[in-house]
Amino acid sequence: MKTYQISVDNFTGNAPCPDVLPVEGQELTIVVPFVTLARKMYFAGDKLKLVRRTKQAPHGRVSSLGNWVVQCPHMISIWTNIEWMMAEGTVK
């Protein structure tokens, strides 16, 4: 399986990467409910729209592919693990 890196402070780890990378404007649907670092809940069927790549990292997490600006039900926010979520089937 392909991987990419996520860095937090002085730690870098590998995360699974999907075979096909997401693109700007792509809309993803949540399959598995979860809670984010910002304590926002997401439910099956919620939509995430990928706006653009960014170097912003409000929670100190940085993706080697670039973080994503994401328009979602709660707000526009920065996400590091979109590719990981795709690879694991959390979103489709």
pTM value?
A: 0.93
β-strand pairing of 67-71 with 76-79: antiparallel
pLDDT value, residue 79: 96
For the stretch 27-45, pLDDT in tens is: 999 999 999 888 999 999 9
Low-confidence ranges of the chain (pLDDT < 70): none
Dig out the tokens for 55 from the structure. 């170097």
Closest C-alpha to 37, from 80, 66, 86: 80
Q: What is the DSSP letter of 88?
A: H
